[in-house]
Amino acid sequence: MRLLRSTVITHLTKPFSVVSSRHNNKFIMSNFSIPRLVAKKVLAKSQGEGDGAVVRRSIGRPELKSLDPFLMLDEFSVSPPAGFPDHPHRGFETVTYMLEGGITHQDFNGHKGTIRAGDVQWMTAGRGIIHSEMPAGPGAQKGLQLWINLSSKDKMVEPNYQELLKDDIKCAEKDGVKVKIIAGESMGVKSPVFTRTPSMFLDFTISPGAQMHQPIPESWNSFVYILEGEGLFGSMDSSPISAHHVLVLSHGDGLSVWNNGSKPLRFVLIGGQPINEPVVQYGPFVMNTQAEIQQALLDYQQCKNGFEMAKHWRSQ
């Protein structure tokens, strides 16, 4: 996915398990020593992106420019002939998680494939990639795309892919709480995904009357993005929050969520270890200095230092 506008952003900056419970007209309080609360709430508003696509951007908008190590989160909807045609990346990772339909990806190194509802592609752009992401069928193709920064030592690694089909993603379920473990660990179940920047990416569905309590490393930044329904996040005294909101969480050792509504609540819980390095971003290039951004632009324009294949490649 590409960012068409130019932005410059500068930063100076227990084992995972989940306790879940279905109540009988009462909730169990969180037992975390420092519960994570909602520090900031932002509604993801629709905007155009790519070539005719529509995204709800939550991280990467003026109200929430970034959350170290996360650079962007889009909930996208794209129907043919719209899409995300050939575009470059350098210096970070993209995680694409399909919710409905499918997206066909191809790049200038010959990698090509389609991910469908429930599938995940974890792409390390590293020193450089040019690729396209286009709808794989008629109608709206929907999903999430997360951008995760890489530390300075990893920004120029070779590009790499980790792709998990729906049936390969580990799941756990207990007392009205279901979780798909895309990265990290929950309910004692670990994902096989390797994260260069230590991260967790969990897809929870909580039935009406159920609750969950998920540990999060205290030093990590974390947030929730609500996909469906509404729930109480962090505190039983809080007000219900509904779909399409991103919730930045305060620091603590875990998050508690309660669903006292009549419909299922679905959200992703994402966390990561802050990199605490300067970040300079120009569209799809994310480096540590302005000079490195200028070099990335030059490399892309001159098809060198990772972009050699760009000279003759066009997606089909």
Q: Of the candidates 246, 248, 241, which has an alpha carbon nearest to the alpha carbon of residue 272?
A: 248
299 backbone dihedrals φ, ψ, rounded to 5°: -60, -40
Helix (H) or strand (E) holding 298: helix 290-302
141 and 135 Cβ atoms separated by less than 8 Å: yes
User: What are the DSSP calls for 17-70, one per residue?
Assistant: --EEEE-SS--PPP--SSB--EEEEEE-EEEEETBTEEEEEEETBTTB--BTTE
Q: Give the separation between CA 143 and CA 118, rounded to whole angstroms.
A: 9
Hey, CA dihedral for 34, 175, 38, 56, is it positive or negative? positive
- d(CA 187, CA 17) in angstroms, rounded, equals 4
Residue 87 is assigned to a ligand binding site: yes
Distance from C-alpha of 92 to C-alpha of 197, rounded to nearest angstrom: 10
DSSP string, 213-267: EEE--TTSEEEEEEEESEEEES-TTSPPEETTEEEEEPSSSEEEEE--SSS-EEE
Task: Confirm or deny that 131 is annotated as ligand binding.
Answer: yes
The 10 Å Cβ neighbour count of residue 25 is: 5
Is 133 annotated in a binding site? The answer is yes
Question: Is the CB of residue 136 less than 8 Å from the CB of residue 80?
Answer: no
Binding residue numbers = 87, 89, 131, 133
Binding residue numbers for Fe cation = 87, 89, 131, 133
